[in-house]
Structure formats: C-alpha cells, structure tokens
Chain A
Amino acid sequence: MRLALIPLIVFLALVAFLAVGLKRDPHEIPSPLIDHPAPAFVLDTVAADTPRFSPEQMKGQVWLLNVWATWCLPCQQEHPMLMQFAQQGLVPVVGMNYKEIQTDQDEAGQPLLPATRLSMARTKTAAWLKKHGNPYAFTVLDVDGRVGVNYGVYGVPESYLIDKAGVIRYKVVGVLTPEILAETVQPLIQKLNKEPFPQQPVPKAS
C-alpha cells in the first residue's frame, strides 16, 4: 500500500520541479558580481567639457548604474520609469551608454577612429536625452563595450545597485518595472542608506 504511493510522490516532485522551471527566465543569469566591488573604470561622459567619470566619485553614497543605449528598444520602454525614479531623488542614477555606435566602419567602409566613434556616440546620446528627458546624474559612454564586459553585461538594459562602499548589492537584468522598483530596489536602498560609511576598522583595544 505504502509502496504504491511512491510513483505518485515521484510524479508530484517532478511536477513541482517543472512548475518552478516554467516560471524561471532562462535569460536571467545570476551575476557572480553580487557582493563584489563594482569594477573600477574611467570613462568619458556625454558632455565633452566635463571630466571623465569613475565609480570612485560615488563612494559614500548608494547609487544605481543603469546600462542602456539609444538603439535598445526595451530601454525606451524603461525610460519613463527611470525618469520617475530619478525625480523621487532616492539615489543618483548613473547612465552607462553601452556600445552606442554599432558599426566600426564609416559609410565609405573605412575603419572609424576611436575619437570619431566617441564623438558620434556623444552626439547621438546627447540628442536622445535632450529629446526624451535625462534621468541621469552622469552619463558615461562605454563606446567599445569593454567596461560592460567587466560588469558582465550581456544585454541592455541592465541595472546595478551599488552601496556606499562601492560594492554591487543587486542586479536587475532587463527593464526596471514599477514592481521591481517598489518591491525590491526601494526597500534595499533604504536598508543600504542606513549602513554606516566610512566603514572604519574596529580599533583594537590595547
């Protein structure tokens, strides 16, 4: 009698596994960078007359790094959400424009110089932000996508929540939805804002 229940139990376990598998998005790959320091970089910003940006500048505050591009359609869908989020003024949002210029040749088929690509990226990004609104405290340009590789970017948009000490605490792959913002990101920001900084080493009692 009891033995007859075994196939049923096995079957139910299988159903449970499959049900969980159905709900999971195979494109969402867990990031190994969570709880690791955000990779350092120095990148040009969209305004040519401002100094280059480094995550070092954000030490001491919680901030959101949003990876996007003007050619990315989901980013356009995400944009109103980001505008709203930025207006709340919870944390500064830094935009990292990822591989804005998708070609490495000009119209004549000649290879583009890095400086040309940078200025092209600047023009396109600035024009887009002017037209649609700018949620970013800083907008940096990762023209060749090398910084993106260090952050494990494999699709845009992606967003990283970074704490006061410069450690990545959360990553959102895909569009930031109002649900993700309200249920996960904002509570986490409140928690991270309460963490002390600078984290002074505990003085040893002599």
Chain B
Amino acid sequence: MTLQRLSSVFRSATASLNSGAGVLTFRFSFVFVLSFALACLAFFANAVQAKEAVPLGDAPWVEARMVHISEELRCLVCQNETLASSRADLAKDLRDEVRDLIRQGKTDPEIKTYLVARYGDFVLYRPEVKPSTWALWWGPAVMLGLGLITALWAVRTRRKNAAADAAIDAAIDADTAPHLPQVPFSAEAQKLVDSVMKNRE
C-alpha cells in the first residue's frame, strides 16, 4: 500500500512537471513525500528502540531528593561511584531503601544516619567531623603548613649562609688584596664572620 502511494505521488510529481502549472504541484508533492518518509523513519526508529524507559516509579520530588542524597553516598560494591550513579544491584536496593525513607518523611541527616548505622562512615563521601576523622579532615592542611614552615626555614638558612659567605669573601679580599677599596664591616657581619671562621677551624 505504501509503495503504491509512493509511486503514485512520484507519478503525479513527474506528470505535473510537464503541465503548465506544474511548479506548485511539484513542490507540494515533494513536501508530501518528504514528510511521509520521515513518518516511516520515525516508525522504524520506534520499532528498534523496543525497550521501555525505566519507570521513575515515584513522584518526581521523591526521585529528586533520592538523587540528591545518593550523590553524597558511596556505593559499597564499586566504591568509587556514588549510590546515585552506580548500576550495582546493591546500589539499586539502597536507592529503594532511601526512597522508602523519604516517603516515611525522614530528613536527609536521618537517612544518612540510617545508612551509616548499617554500613559505617565509609558510605559517606563527606565524613562527619569527629576525633577519628580529624586526620582525614585537617591532615592535608597540617601537612601543607609543615611544608611551608620547612621551606621557609630552608630559605632563611640559605640566605644566612649566603650572607656569611659574602662576608668571608670580603674578609679574604681584604687580607689578600689590600689594594682594593676596603669594605667596612658592620658589627653584625663581623660577628657572623667570627662565628663561621670559628666553626670552620
């Protein structure tokens, strides 16, 4: 049937090309063929995509809250995925559990406490701040602080040494090349030279 229709459309299109008022009819039938083809395409595309969309199963607000909470929770099977994005079986079960708790009117902290009571702090991507997690929370900042202090200390020592070296060079110059203009020592530099020379002896 569709073929017949298509060929008749084509015939009318070619026929109208020869007739006097042909241009308009040709355009019209071309649009018709195009839309018909598109309709066919849509039909077949539908047939290929035979799988139904996964039902949301719940009110959108439950779904939205579930996703919001689950994004903060770790899937225990894949460990580097959130509960919201994991396809693991257990993650699906836990999402169902979270949906249930939302429907029971539990608050977000209550739901998190519920899961922590069963699976431990590990389920939280953002663990609670408490003595056992202090190292986790403040450790990096402490390490950074220690690093900065060490760097500062190293730079200071190096500067001090450079100053001492310059003073010693000047002293040697004064000793070996008295014809050069003498650079007067400050009391501080003299002290430095004395201490360094004493250490080096």
Check if B118 sits within 8 Å of A155, measured CB to CB.
no
Question: Contact check: which of B90, B97, B117, B121 meets A154 at CB < 8 Å?
Answer: B90
Binds B, one of A25-33, A115-123, A182-190, A193-201: A25-33
Check if A29 sits within 8 Å of B76, measured CB to CB.
yes
Q: Does A152 contact B (CB under 8 A)?
A: yes
Q: Does B122 contact A (CB under 8 A)?
A: yes
Number of A-B contacts (CB under 8 A): 41
Check if A26 sits within 8 Å of B79, measured CB to CB.
yes
Binds B, one of A49-57, A82-90, A132-140, A143-151: A143-151
Interface string of A61-100 (1 = CB under 8 A from B): 0000000000000000000000000000000000000010
Check if A31 sits within 8 Å of B120, measured CB to CB.
yes
A27 to B97, CA, bound (A): 22
Q: Which residues of B contact A30 (CB under 8 A)?
A: 120, 122
Q: Which residues of B contact A26 (CB under 8 A)?
A: 79
A99 to B118, CA, bound (A): 18
Closest to B100 in A: A146
Check if B77 sits within 8 Å of A155, measured CB to CB.
yes
Check if B93 sits within 8 Å of A151, measured CB to CB.
no
Check if B120 sits within 8 Å of A145, measured CB to CB.
no
A29 to B93, CA, bound (A): 19
Question: Contact check: which of A27, A144, A145, A149 meets B118 at CB < 8 Å?
Answer: A149
A26 to B80, CA, bound (A): 11
Q: Which residues of B contact A27 (CB under 8 A)?
A: 79
Report, as a range, how many residues of chain A touch the other chain.
Answer: 10 to 19
Check if A152 sits within 8 Å of B118, measured CB to CB.
yes
A30 to B119, CA, bound (A): 8
A145 to B76, CA, bound (A): 15
Interface string of B114-157 (1 = CB under 8 A from A): 00111111100000000000000000000000000000000000
For B116, B117, B121, the residue with the greatest tally of chain A CB atoms inside 10 Å of its CB is B117
Interface string of B40-83 (1 = CB under 8 A from A): 00000000000000000000000000000000000011010000
Q: A99-B89, A145-B93 are in contact. List 17 more A-B contacts (CB 8 A).
A: A26-B79, A29-B119, A29-B122, A30-B122, A32-B118, A32-B119, A32-B120, A146-B93, A149-B94, A149-B97, A149-B118, A150-B118, A152-B118, A154-B77, A154-B90, A154-B119, A155-B77
- 23 sample A-B contacts, Cβ–Cβ < 8 Å, listed by A number: A27-B79, A29-B76, A29-B119, A29-B122, A30-B120, A30-B122, A32-B118, A32-B119, A32-B120, A32-B121, A33-B118, A144-B93, A145-B93, A149-B97, A149-B118, A150-B118, A152-B118, A152-B119, A152-B120, A154-B90, A154-B119, A155-B76, A155-B90
